[in-house]
């Protein structure tokens, strides 16, 4: 296997949206993302702490779908490494020299990875002016930055193996009594995850996680949607995660794309960082206070496009976490002293 690219972090998501004006209302007016650039068909957005051009691209299209995920790599040579790595895997690969891909991004390569997701690897990207202390421009959810991608895939062990081959660490897992893998959180930057896997039919995008600095911004997000009678966009939470320990709320945008407003996870940067493993019967794993996970959160997700913009066919999952029940007493089977 050839040398993998040196991935720094999850960097941006490009979504296809069916009504750019409605998406602008949700992502800019309500969530407060900063418009770095826009044209008739596309919005380029970023959070207050982000110094690169964008972390979310919304492009008008006929079908709501994930166009591609994008990871930033450490050096220009890592774009070549990515091209070679996925070519050697026999995967579809398309080089996008500077000026031919996403506005603001330089030389890049897009691949369809072994899980069926269209993924871009780039190094060069235009800079954005520093908004970190422009509190006068921090609006809505006051999102600081993109934190992670969460993808639905039917074969969690295969997803784990693929991302391990790209040098990702594993911070936490959800496992069955026989250690079958239901979910995993994997990282390159030194926090809980850049990517996580939710078991289910796939390839589909489960959600993008956007980080705020404080839990009061998560609560404020829910309050803003409630204030405007738009509470139907709130799908799950606010609450405290077991996995990651983050405080969260999940929203659905006008196309049904899921976004998580997420804050306060933890450092994972030491070389001997150990994976924390949850039992699938522990009902604190996904919500630390034992609140149930709404069915739509397990079942609904966005389809993904291939390199030519066609919807990728999906395969059904072998394991279904939502079908796993906790103990009869309502307590997690894993008894805690
Ligand atoms: O619900 S989980 O606690 O498993 C969870 C943890 C971290 C996340 O980013 C997430 O989306 C979900
Ligand atoms: Ca319980
Ligand atoms: Fe998440």
Q: Which among 174, 184, 185 is the best mutation to test ligand 1's pocket, defined by most ligand atoms within 8 Å of the CB?
A: 185
179: region left, alpha or beta (phi > 0 left; psi from -120 to 50 alpha): left
- The sheet with strand 7-17 has its strands ordered as 34-38, 42-46, 56-60, 7-17, 65-73, 118-122, 108-112, 93-96
At residue 173, the 3 state secondary structure works out as: strand
Write out the DSSP string of 4-52: PP-EEEEEEEEEEES-HHHHHIIIIIIT--EEEEE-SSEEEEE-TT--B
Query: Cα separation of 310 and 191, whole Å?
Result: 33
**Residue range 79-100: mean pLDDT, rounded:** 98
Query: Minimum-distance ligand to the CA of 326?
Result: 2
pLDDT at 331 (0 to 100): 42
Residue 320: pLDDT band (50, 70, 90) is confident
**Which residue has a Cα nearest atom 4 of ligand 1?**
286
97 CA distance to ligand 3 centroid (A)? Answer: 32
Cβ atoms of residues 103 and 42 within 8 Å: yes
Computed over its alpha carbons, how large is the radius of gyration of the chain?
Answer: 19
Testing ligand 1's pocket by substitution, the residue of 146, 244, 262 carrying the most ligand atoms inside 8 A of its CB is 244
Quick: pLDDT tens for 286-317. Answer: 999 999 999 999 999 999 999 999 999 999 98
pLDDT at 159 over 50: yes
User: Residues with Cβ within 6 A of ligand 1?
Assistant: 148, 150, 196, 209, 241-244, 246, 260, 262, 285-286
Tokens at 126, concatenated = 């235009």
| Confidence at residue 322, expressed as pLDDT on a 0 to 100 scale | 86
Q: Name the residue among 3, 31, 269, 293 with its Cα closest to residue 146.
A: 31
| pLDDT confidence bin for 323, thresholds 50/70/90 | confident
pLDDT at 332: 44
3-class SS of residue 68 = strand
Task: Specify the pLDDT at position 325.
Answer: 63
**16 pLDDT higher than 80:** yes
Residue with the bigger pLDDT between 245 and 318: it is 245
Using an 8 Å Cβ cutoff, are 153 and 312 in contact? Answer: no
ipTM for the assembly: 0.94
- Cα separation, 147 vs 89, in Å, equals 28
pLDDT of residue 330: 40
Confidence of residue 284 (pLDDT cuts 50, 70, 90): very high
Q: What integer best gives the mean pLDDT of the chain?
A: 95
User: Which pLDDT score, from 0 to 100, does residue 324 have?
Assistant: 83
The answer to whether residues 69 and 152 touch, using CB atoms and an 8 Å cutoff, is no
Quick one: which atom of ligand 1 is closest to the CA of 285?
Answer: 3
The answer to whether residue 333 scores a pLDDT higher than 80 is no
What SS3 class is residue 77?
helix
How far is residue 187 CA from its own chain's centroid?
12
H helix runs in 197-323, sequence order: 215-227, 295-299
Domains and CATH numbers, the chain: 7-126+140-299 (3.10.180.10)
Indicate the helix (H) or strand (E) that contains 156.
Answer: helix 156-165
Provide DSSP, 87-149: HHTT--EEEE-TTSSSTTB-SEEEEE-TTS-EEEEE--B-B----TT-GGG--TT---EEEEE
| 194 close to 187: Cβ distance less than 8 angstroms | yes
* Ligand 1 atom at minimum distance from 207 CA: 11
Residue 1: pLDDT band with limits 50, 70, 90: confident
Query: What's the pLDDT at 254?
Result: 98
Q: Which of 238, 249, 286 to mutate to test the pocket of ligand 1 (most atoms within 8 A of CB)?
A: 286
- Enumerate the β-bridge partners of residue 236: 250
Rounded mean pLDDT, 55-71: 98
**pLDDT of 314:** 96
């Amino acid at each position: 296997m050839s040398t993998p690219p040196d991935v720094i972090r999850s960097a941006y998501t490009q979504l296809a949206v069916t009504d750019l004006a409605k998406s602008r209302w949700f992502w800019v007016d309500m969530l407060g993302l900063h418009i770095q650039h826009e044209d008739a068909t596309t919005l380029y957005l970023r959070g207050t702490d982000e110094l690169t051009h964008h972390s979310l691209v919304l492009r008008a299209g006929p079908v709501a779908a994930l166009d591609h995920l994008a990871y930033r790599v450490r050096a220009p040579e890592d774009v070549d490494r990515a091209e070679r790595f996925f070519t050697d895997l026999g995967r579809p690969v398309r080089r996008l020299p500077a000026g031919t891909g996403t506005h603001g991004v330089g030389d890049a390569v897009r691949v369809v990875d072994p899980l069926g997701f269209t993924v871009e690897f780039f190094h060069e990207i235009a800079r954005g002016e520093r908004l970190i202390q422009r509190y006068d421009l921090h609006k809505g959810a006051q999102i600081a930055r993109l934190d992670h991608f969460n993808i639905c895939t039917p074969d969690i062990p295969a997803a784990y193996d693929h991302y391990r081959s790209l040098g990702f660490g594993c911070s936490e897992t959800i496992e069955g009594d026989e250690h079958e893998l239901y979910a995993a959180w994997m990282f390159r930057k030194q926090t809980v995850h850049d990517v996580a896997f939710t078991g289910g039919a796939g390839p589909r995008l489960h959600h993008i996680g956007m980080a705020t600095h404080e839990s009061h911004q998560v609560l404020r997000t829910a309050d803003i949607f409630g204030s405007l009678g738009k509470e139907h966009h709130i799908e799950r939470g606010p609450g405290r995660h077991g996995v990651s320990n983050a405080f969260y709320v999940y929203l659905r945008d006008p196309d049904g794309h899921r976004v998580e407003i997420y804050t306060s996870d933890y450092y994972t940067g030491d070389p001997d960082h150990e994976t924390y493993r949850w039992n699938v019967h522990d009902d604190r794993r996904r919500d630390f206070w034992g609140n149930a996970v709404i069915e739509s959160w397990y079942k609904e997700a966005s389809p993904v496009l291939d390199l030519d913009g066609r919807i990728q066919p999906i395969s059904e999952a072998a394991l279904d976490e939502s079908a796993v029940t906790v103990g009869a007493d309502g307590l997690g089977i894993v008894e805690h002293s």
